[in-house]
Chains A and B, each alone.
Chain A
Amino acid sequence: MSAADGREMRGASGALRDAATGELRQETMIINMGPQHPSTHGVLRLLLELDGETVVSCEPIIGYLHTGIEKNTEYRTWQQGVTFVTRADYLSPFFNELGYCLGVERLLGIEAPERAQIIRVLVCELNRIASHLVWLATGGLELGAVSVMLYAFREREIILDVFEAITGLRMNHAYIRIGGVVMDMPQEGPGKIRNLLRVLPGRFDEYETLLDDNPIWRERNEGVGVLGAEQALALGVTGPCLRAAGVPADLRKDIPYGGYETYDFDVPVQTAGDAYARYRVRMAEMRESLKIVRQALERLEHTPGPVMVQDPKVGWPSRLSVGPDGIGNDPDYLRHIMEESMEALIHHFKMVTQGVAVPAGEVYSAVESPRGELGFHIVSDGGHRPYRVKIRDPSFVNLQALPLMAEGYLVADLIASNASLDPVMGGVDR
């Protein structure tokens, strides 16, 4: 590149050196990262302006997974809304279902039975652990720690086994329904959960031994993606990102729902506001969730009862049970509606075809999902179908903080900040 070899490299608009001052011209580079990219946590497109390796400006472009879930719910019954809503933030399906069902139950003016509430808390906290494990796995993978991914997915498989035993599916369960849960805990459920409670704490210790004081992990995460408390609140960031900035805000403690006020757990808070602080917060949250799971399991043994509201005009009518070929309709229930009671058959028919009629009104119900405040603004016009279901997804709002966290840092730090923000594009785009 010296003048001696007679050739000059030309920039986008001409000369190598500025004509007036003789200085080397510098231009920033506009690079598109995504939407197909191994490290952007899904289909996120980042329009980066780079000065060498430093990010000058970062603009997230979303919408590559827009599914029209909110419009779809307006054409289905209220119960069918659960199956749509559960696929919004697909890493925390139980939270989607819980928020939606709590909202509809508030409109109906009913409350789920106590056993159902305990089961809901139990599966939600297990879901929180599973979601944080995926965060750890993908975060580690993006930073280059591939073995963390395999370990975290191994633990997640144990939890998904429990989900499969309880709900029949590994993901997108549609288990929490309006009025309770769809099926009671099966017999092998408590045993599997106890096995999980025995195994997981040791595995969490392993992660902390591997990563907490790991110099590479600390270098890549400390001081990266700093988000202060005021900035976070102004941008509407909630969840572990806010708690890592020093604000002890957790909906389970602040505005409790679904029985959380009766459980004994702490809310971990860090003050640094960087990616390492978020890592510590999430690791601590996993342990707190295990505490809640243990308490819920003990309570479950002392709380018999129905798991669905008994009102035939509200509760989902059919009972499922485990038969020789899997989970299916309970033969006793079938005999009841087909042979014994005409009224039960009519109720079953009306509930399955038309569904619940929810009184008119609007409600906003929020739960604390692994990523922050997951809210549902539900409007009903008194009919059998939702009028409007708006999902306030935490990832959608949290992602607005990414430019603030990324600008001025290196591209590799952008990856680390994005991973620590834990966006799930299904929730962002809905």
Chain B
Amino acid sequence: MSPEDLAEALQGRFADVGLARGEVTVLVEAGAVPETLLWLRQHPDLAFDLLACVSATDGPGADPRFWLTYEMRSMQHHHRVRVKTGASGTDPRLPSVAPVFPTADWQEREIYDLYGVVFEGHPNLHRILLPEDWEGHPLRKDEELGGVPTWYVGARVPPVDQRGMA
């Protein structure tokens, strides 16, 4: 289906469907994500059988603070859709889609590890990329980049996030 047809087909069921740059985005409530993804997979004309990517973005000023996107792809009809939802900043919790799409297992663990978003119903939620005893969630915007200042030719250059350049 072309993106326009897809957007039209989805507008019947979802209130917030956006189309930009050839990509269709569906905005849903956090609690509705697993059933949305399941419906998208089971609908015969849509048939989104691959959950390609679960991604999170941190917007410190916005509400909700964390945006999660679920990129889906159909192997039969060769189209894509993005399901987007939000999680609050103070206690980010979302239902896990791992029971519905096993591929989300490690992807949600990675988001928990780097952002601190808790996925309820996840079979095995603990850190995956960082050491088990690491404190903090590095990819949040209020965490600094880390790194050490560099000595070079007698001058001391601070790490990238403290350099004050445009």
Contacts and interface: CB of A to CB of B under 8 A. Distances in A.
A377 interface: yes
Contacts of A236: 50-52, 101-104
B128 A373 contact: no
Interface in B32-52: 49-52
A400 B105 contact: yes
Contacts of A234: 101-103
Interface string B111-149: 000100000000000011111000000110000011000
Interface string B57-82: 11000000000010101010011101
Contacts of A346: none
Interface residues of A, number: 44
Q: Which of B50, B58, B69 has most A Cβ within 10 Å?
A: B50
B150 interface: no
Contact of B139 (A70, A109, A354): A70
Nearest to A63: B129
B71 A247 contact: no
A375 B107 CA distance: 13
B153 interface: no
Nearest to A394: B52
Interface residues of B, number: 43
A377 B57 CA distance: 10
A384 B103 contact: no
Contacts of A399: 106
Interface string A230-256: 000111111000000001010000110
B130 A400 contact: no
Nearest to A363: B21
Nearest to A68: B138
A254 B53 contact: no
20 contacts: A63-B130, A66-B129, A66-B130, A68-B138, A68-B146, A70-B139, A71-B139, A75-B160, A109-B21, A236-B51, A236-B104, A364-B82, A377-B55, A377-B71, A390-B57, A392-B52, A396-B106, A397-B103, A400-B105, A400-B106
**4 closest A-B pairs (Cβ-Cβ)?**
A236-B103, A392-B53, A63-B129, A390-B55
Interface of A: 62-63, 66, 68, 70-72, 75-76, 106-107, 109, 233-238, 247, 249, 254-255, 353-354, 361-364, 366, 373, 375, 377, 379, 384, 387-388, 390, 392, 396-397, 399-400, 429-430
Interface of B: 20-23, 49-53, 55-58, 69, 71, 73, 75, 78-80, 82, 101-107, 110, 114, 127-131, 138-139, 145-146, 160-161, 165-166
